[in-house]
Amino acid sequence: MRAAEKAAMDAGTSEWELMRRSGEGAARWITRIAAGGPVCLLCGPGNNGGDGYVIAEYLRQLGNGGEVFAPKPPATETARKAREAFSGEIASGPLPSNRVFVDCLFGYGLTREVEGEFADLLRALGETKGQKIAIDIPSSIASDSGQQLGPLVRYDLTLALGAWKRAHFVMPAMASMGQKRLVDIGLDFPVGLPRLSAEPHIDPPAPDAHKYRRGLLAIVAGDMPGASLLAAQAALRSGAGYVKLLSDHSHPDVPAELVVDDGPLAEALEDERIGALLIGPGLGRTPAARDRLSAALAAKRPIVLDADALHLLDPTMISGADTANIAITPHEGELAQLCEAFGIETEGKIAKAQALNAETGMAVLAKGPDTVLAGQRGTRFFERGPAWLSAAGTGDVLAGISASRLAVHGEAHRALEEAVWLHHEAARIAGAAFTAGYLARAVKPALEAFL
Ligand SMILES: NC(=O)C1=CN([C@@H]2O[C@H](COP(=O)(O)OP(=O)(O)OC[C@H]3O[C@@H](n4cnc5c(N)ncnc54)[C@H](O)[C@@H]3O)[C@@H](O)[C@H]2O)[C@@H](O)CC1
Ligand SMILES: Nc1ncnc2c1ncn2[C@@H]1O[C@H](COP(=O)(O)OP(=O)(O)O)[C@@H](O)[C@H]1O
Ligand SMILES: [K+]
């Protein structure tokens, strides 16, 4: 963000102009939300506070006055300019209630714990009644890490200025932000930066498609076939033309549309028509499971590894493999374990996922409430999915969707990105307290939303 701002300034746009765009862009949201009612602003000493004075003046010009609280005077030249352009007074005393509150105490310049009068003000803000809006980011959140550095307020809306910061997509920080909106201030960013995942467009089958050309997915089952059946249920509804279960168990309860191949695994894997493989859900961690994983990797097809496959995976298994064809879907525990197996010592979920991708070439989907993808096309963040996804088996459903998309087009990064969107949409459709089986069935209407 600083680099983009500097580039804009080097090209002749002043910091004051950027602040004016930020403040006015935010003020347009705030006037709509306040709908003529009073607004109370909290202004800090840096440029985040500067934005606050611009917002306050904009509101005054509309005749929509309110209070401005500013425990310290502006400390930057541009914030001083904004303060001078503000024609109102600075308020004192306790915070009023029943206002639209706008928090401009600290933005991305927050570097240390918020204490003293600023912390008191944030606590008072947390306790008072009224809608709360954070400008750029909540004032006790460090923008790069999402680390909490003071009293955390629950906001109704967070208005990011110019670009999303990492903290906007990191838990638990993102849970405090309410709705999030981006205010465009006309900055240019280099390609390749981490960014928010854009809604995918899913193509229907080509007019001349047949089941193999649409994608044959082979799911390698293991000791606990229930999990791979769940993945298969989701995969059948995610676009692949043909889903097979490679299993040496009997499955009295498989759906008629799922083909079970109970012959020797090595033979089944020789089928040239296989577009993608999935292995891991219900695989188990026995030596036999390890052999199945090695055989699946040796088949050299695009492959999704999940669950037990991630516990068994080690660097020797993928040495010499075309790892751009491998997609992995670890949760937090599996990610930590993979980092250990691959000798990665970085801290933090985003950095771990990026390092694992850089080290191995695999596309890494670090799932959870703050899912992040580090893949061939760079790093992608996602809006939070419904918290009802925190149910057993929903990860198997995600793996099934990912593998089905991989069978369709063979691109690991794209398959994982599409899978997150389909998974979240299916969860929205499934509503409350759903089971993983119900979620798998909701993948069909979810896919229709992206055609
Ligand atoms: N630089 C630019 O070009 C633009 C910046 N903008 C705004 O400026 C913000 C960043 O501004 P700044 O870099 O001035 O930083 P901030 O306004 O985020 O805050 C930093 C100021 O607070 C002090 N501070 C940091 N942590 C503190 C703590 N725990 N307790 C007390 N004081 C503390 C610092 O010493 C500094 O004076 C952005 O988030 C955005 O809102 C926008 O106006 C757009 C243009
Ligand atoms: N609180 C939450 N909010 C949103 N999504 C969640 C939440 N908790 C879990 N999820 C999602 O649910 C799935 C859980 O997967 P996983 O941990 O592998 O569970 P399981 O192994 O039981 O299938 C992941 O896709 C994860 O992103
Ligand atoms: K803020």
Q: Is the pLDDT of residue 61 over 90?
A: yes
pLDDT at 252: 78
The Cα 105–Cα 69 span in angstroms is 10
Using the 3D structure, point to which of 190, 207, 228 is the last residue of a domain. Answer: 190
Do 175 and 223 belong to one domain?
A: no
User: pLDDT per residue over 8-53, tens digit each?
Assistant: 999 999 999 999 999 999 999 999 999 999 999 999 999 999 999 9
Cα–chain-centroid distance for residue 394?
A: 17
Number of domains making up the chain: 2
Show the domain range for 243: 216-448
pLDDT at 249: 83
Atom of ligand 1 nearest to the CA of 21: 44
Do 161 and 222 belong to one domain?
A: no
395 labeled part of a ligand binding site: yes
Give the mean model confidence (pLDDT) for residues 195-207. Answer: 95
Pocket mutation for ligand 2, best pick of 169, 332, 338, 367 (most atoms within 8 Å of C-beta): 367
User: pLDDT per residue over 227-247, tens digit each?
Assistant: 999 999 999 999 999 999 999
Q: Is the pLDDT of residue 441 over 90?
A: yes
Does residue 198 lie within any of the structural domains?
no
CB of 367 within 8 A of CB of 329? yes
Ligand 2 pocket member 394 (CB < 6 A):
yes
Do 181 and 265 belong to one domain?
A: no
Does residue 323 lie within any of the structural domains?
yes
426: CATH: 3.40.1190.20
> Hey, whose CA ends up nearest to atom 13 of ligand 1?
109
Ligand closest to CA 171: 2
> Hey, whose CA ends up nearest to atom 9 of ligand 1?
48
Nearest C-alpha neighbor of 389 from the set 339, 423, 346, 338: 423
Do 180 and 251 belong to one domain?
A: no
Q: Is the pLDDT of residue 415 over 90?
A: yes
Ligand closest to CA 439: 2
Please report which confidence band the pLDDT of residue 197 belongs to, taking 50, 70 and 90 as the band edges: very high
The Cα 38–Cα 219 span in angstroms is 59
The Cα 58–Cα 64 span in angstroms is 9
Q: Is the pLDDT of residue 70 over 90?
A: yes
Does residue 44 lie within any of the structural domains?
yes
Does residue 183 lie within any of the structural domains?
yes
Do 436 and 301 belong to one domain?
A: yes
Tell me the pLDDT of the chain averaged across its residues: 96
Could you tell me the two tokens for 97? 């209630």
Nearest C-alpha neighbor of 121 from the set 205, 34, 40, 66: 40
Q: Which residues pair with residue 158 across a beta bridge?
A: 134, 180
Ligand 1 pocket member 75 (CB < 6 A):
yes
15: CATH: 3.40.50.10260
Give the mean model confidence (pLDDT) for residues 195-199. Answer: 95
Ligand 2 pocket member 281 (CB < 6 A):
no
Do 305 and 431 belong to one domain?
A: yes
Do 157 and 295 belong to one domain?
A: no
Does residue 132 lie within any of the structural domains?
yes
Do 177 and 244 belong to one domain?
A: no
User: What residue type is assigned to position 142 of the chain?
Assistant: A
Residue 394: exposure state from Cβ atoms within 10 A (0-12, 13-18, ≥19) = buried
User: pLDDT per residue over 442-451, tens digit each?
Assistant: 999 999 999 9
Do 301 and 419 belong to one domain?
A: yes
pLDDT at 203: 94
**What is the enclosing helix (H) or strand (E) of 405?**
helix 394-409
Please report which confidence band the pLDDT of residue 305 belongs to, taking 50, 70 and 90 as the band edges: very high
Do 165 and 226 belong to one domain?
A: no
Q: Is the pLDDT of residue 409 over 90?
A: yes
Do 148 and 241 belong to one domain?
A: no
Which residues lie near ion ligand 3 (Cβ < 5 Å)? 103, 134-135, 139
pLDDT at 157: 98
Do 172 and 245 belong to one domain?
A: no
370 labeled part of a ligand binding site: yes
Nearest C-alpha neighbor of 169 from the set 140, 193, 143, 192: 143
Is the pTM of the predicted complex or chain greater than 0.90? yes
Nearest C-alpha neighbor of 296 from the set 334, 261, 324, 270: 270
> Between 143 and 191, where is the model more confident?
143
Atom of ligand 1 nearest to the CA of 185: 44
Residue 305: exposure state from Cβ atoms within 10 A (0-12, 13-18, ≥19) = buried
Ligand 3 centre to CA of 135 (Å) is 4
CB of 279 within 8 A of CB of 302? no
- Ramachandran category for residue 423: left, alpha or beta (phi over 0 → left; psi -120 to 50 → alpha): alpha
Ligand 1 pocket member 103 (CB < 6 A):
no
Residue 248: exposure state from Cβ atoms within 10 A (0-12, 13-18, ≥19) = middle
User: pLDDT per residue over 251-298, tens digit each?
Assistant: 778 999 999 999 999 999 999 999 999 999 999 999 999 999 999 999
Cis preceding-peptide flag for 172 (omega within 30 of 0): yes
Does residue 205 lie within any of the structural domains?
no
Q: Please, where are the H alpha helices in 223-271?
A: 225-235, 265-268
Ligand 3 centre to CA of 237 (Å) is 43
pLDDT at 212: 87
Give the mean model confidence (pLDDT) for residues 199-210. Answer: 94
Does residue 202 lie within any of the structural domains?
no
Could you tell me the two tokens for 147? 């680390």
Does residue 23 lie within any of the structural domains?
yes
205-214, 287-296, 360-369, 403-412: least confidently modelled range: 205-214
The Cα 406–Cα 237 span in angstroms is 13
Q: Is the pLDDT of residue 250 over 90?
A: no
DSSP structure string for 176-213: GS-EEEEE-------TTS-EEPPPP-PPPPPTT--TTT
Q: Is the pLDDT of residue 3 over 90?
A: no
- Rounded to two decimals, the ipTM of the complex is 0.94
pLDDT at 253: 80
User: pLDDT per residue over 101-155, tens digit each?
Assistant: 999 999 999 999 999 999 999 999 999 999 999 999 999 999 999 999 999 999 9
